[in-house]
Amino acid sequence: MVKAVVKLTSPVPLIVVVGLFILQVFAPAPAIMFTLVAIGGVMGISYLWARQLAKGVSLHRQRRYGWAQVGDILEERFIMHNDGWVPILWAEIRDLSDLPGYNASRAVGMSARSTLRWTTSGVCERRGIYTLGPIRIYMGDPFGLFRITIYHNYQETFVVYPPIAALPPLVEPQGMARGASRANIRSLDLTTNASSVRQYVPGDALKRIHWRSTARRSFPGHEEIFVKEFDLEPSGDLWILLDMDADVHVGEGPESTEEYAVILAASLANQLLRENHAVGLLTYQKEPIIVPPQKGPHQLWEILRVLAGAYAIAPASLNDLFELFEPLTGRGLSALIITPSADANWIKGLSILLRHGVHLSGLLLDARSFGGEGDVQGVLGALADLRVSAHVISQGFTFERITPKREQRPQFKVLGTGRVIMVSPGESSEWVPVGQKDQTS
């Protein structure tokens, strides 16, 4: 939505004109008339000038890509038109986007009937869900009597995903084999692996009947019903339990337990999804957030979208997270716990999950190395007693980014002969107007 407002910068000129008019009516004089006409004329010209700017100025905003990762460059292009017959002596373009480290505000001037283009860029310093826009354009007439404000209220959500790092093998989900191989062990539950058929016995569910085998093997006088048999899922589902309790996280900015926990969750989800495991996410913000386990690249982006806006603001402890997870448990599942909590009380809550046959592992962030308190070694020993594998991550752990940063512009090189060649083509991408969806997001 675009709206233009024209206002007087000060009521003094209008008061003077009214006063002179009253004097001219009751005590006419050439000097008063001349002054009235001069000031009134200037105000009239200024108002017409301001109205032309309010009607003739428009701004279009475009940006590359609908999302980015931490460290990527956000690049936007602005196109400003002045269709009026008066020039823009000055215009302040104020961008109200909330993306940290990015500012698209600037001051410009334009002649009449002209177009101005410029590009702004900035580094996406922190993950999160931000807003591009709105924009305010402030202009004025030559005499400074009127102030024109154009409100461009369109805005769009811009997601900065957490980086994905290469990690050593920190967790092995429970399952008979990786990939799409068969376990060749029968399961009483329905899975995606139907291996064979057998004769129907009372108590079998009707949805397990294999109608093709039943029709093929039955003949008059010998009718039999056959049901499907299923193998255990070879690669067990993995749940990432991300503790975002506000009372246990320490540190600020990139060197905080909160940021380390998010990067670990994103990197492990990427690693395990590439190994054909089904990965889910359970965390707590102001309310529970559950991403059911699935396979494929789309699941990674769903998890990254949740992690982009995940902060250590949860009022729930890790034991509360276990209670939320209990209805989702089942044999064959694996759960990875990521927490900086050195309070051994949450170890008691693991018994709930162990009774359900959940294969547990943990990533413990050493809060003391981040400037906090608590000895993570005690928690590590308690987990070892329960035969729960765990790893300790301290501040300074090297996260080697595996997703390359975007090249926004092609790179060129001048040869000795004077010929210019392209060294790096960069990434080709269409400019997307703000307010329209990017197909890549």
pLDDT at 422: 55
pLDDT at 421: 61
Name the pLDDT band for 417 (thresholds 50, 70, 90). Answer: low
pLDDT in tens, 34-60: 999 999 999 999 999 999 999 999 999
pLDDT in tens, 270-311: 999 998 889 999 999 999 999 999 999 899 999 999 999 999
More confident residue, 114 or 65: 114
Contacts from 86-90 at CB under 8 Å and sequence distance 24+? Answer: 86/49, 86/52, 86/53, 86/112, 87/111, 87/112, 88/53, 88/57, 88/139, 89/140, 89/142, 90/139, 90/140
Name the pLDDT band for 141 (thresholds 50, 70, 90). Answer: very high
pLDDT at 101: 87
pLDDT in tens, 320-371: 999 999 988 877 789 999 999 998 889 988 988 888 888 899 999 999 999 9
Instruction: Compute, in degrees rounded to 10, the torsion defined by CA atoms 294, 299, 305, 310.
Output: 40
Average pLDDT over residues 418-423: 59
User: Is residue 16 predicted with pLDDT exceeding 90?
Assistant: yes
pLDDT at 169: 78
Q: Of 216-220, 222-226, 230-234, where does mean pLDDT reach its minimum?
A: 230-234
pLDDT at 432: 64
Tell me, letter by letter, the H, E, C secondary structure of 151-213: EECCCEEEEEECCCEECCCCCCCCCCCCCCCCCCCEECCCCCCEEEEEECCCCCCHHHECHHH
Closest residue by Cα to residue 65 from 152, 163, 126, 156: 156
Q: How many CB atoms lie within 10 A of CB 374?
A: 17
Closest residue by Cα to residue 148 from 9, 45, 17, 14: 9
More confident residue, 234 or 260: 260
pLDDT at 365: 96
pLDDT at 429: 53
Q: Of 75-84, 95-104, 130-139, 217-226, where does mean pLDDT reach its minimum?
A: 217-226
Residue 231 and residue 186 in contact, taking contact as beta carbons nearer than 8 Å = yes
The burial class, CB within 10 Å (0-12 / 13-18 / 19+), for 47 is middle
pLDDT at 293: 93
The domain spans of the chain are 1-161, 165-177+234-401, 186-231
Average pLDDT over residues 314-320: 92
pLDDT at 193: 54
pLDDT at 216: 81
Structure-token pair, residue 145? 């009597």
Taking 3-state DSSP, the helix, strand and coil percentages for the chain, each rounded to the nearest 5, stand at 25, 35, 40
More confident residue, 134 or 236: 134
Pick the CATH number of 165-177+234-401 from 3.40.190.80, 3.30.43.10, 3.20.20.210, 3.40.50.410: 3.40.50.410
Q: What CA–CA distances, in Å, run from 134 to 88, 137, 150?
A: 21, 10, 11
Residue 69 and residue 403 in contact, taking contact as beta carbons nearer than 8 Å = yes
pLDDT in tens, 378-394: 999 999 999 899 999 99
**E strand or H helix at 15:** helix 12-26
Residue 225 and residue 266 in contact, taking contact as beta carbons nearer than 8 Å = no
Q: What CA–CA distances, in Å, run from 327 to 279, 345, 353, 356, 362?
A: 17, 21, 10, 10, 20
Architecture category of domain 1-161 in CATH: Sandwich (2.60)
pLDDT at 12: 94
pLDDT at 351: 86
Give the type of residue at 296. G
Instruction: Compute, in degrees rounded to 10, the torsion defined by CA atoms 311, 316, 321, 322.
Output: 150
User: Is residue 183 predicted with pLDDT exceeding 50?
Assistant: no
User: Is residue 406 predicted with pLDDT exceeding 80?
Assistant: no
* Rounded Cα–Cα distance for residues 116 and 172 (Å): 57
- Average pLDDT, whole number, for the chain? 85
User: Is residue 171 predicted with pLDDT exceeding 80?
Assistant: no
Q: How many CB atoms lie within 10 A of CB 434?
A: 19
* φ and ψ at residue 321, rounded to 5 degrees: -65, -40
pLDDT at 76: 93
Sheet-wide strand order for 156-161: 67-69, 156-161, 128-132
* Rounded Cα–Cα distance for residues 251 and 294 (Å): 33
pLDDT at 217: 78
* φ and ψ at residue 281, rounded to 5 degrees: -135, 135
CB-side neighbour CA atoms (13 Å) of 106: 14
Average pLDDT over residues 241-261: 95
Instruction: Compute, in degrees rounded to 10, the torsion defined by CA atoms 365, 368, 374, 380.
Output: 40
CB-side neighbour CA atoms (13 Å) of 267: 23
Closest residue by Cα to residue 70 from 438, 417, 405: 405
pLDDT at 439: 36
Sheet-wide strand order for 238-242: 288-294, 279-284, 238-242, 334-339, 359-365, 389-393
* Rounded Cα–Cα distance for residues 213 and 201 (Å): 15
Contacts of 400 (CB under 8 A, 6+ apart): 165, 166
Q: What CA–CA distances, in Å, run from 349 to 78, 257, 324, 391?
A: 55, 22, 12, 19
* Number of residues that this document lists for the chain: 441
pLDDT in tens, 61-101: 998 877 889 988 899 999 999 999 999 999 999 999 999 98
User: Is residue 441 predicted with pLDDT exceeding 50?
Assistant: no
pLDDT at 416: 64
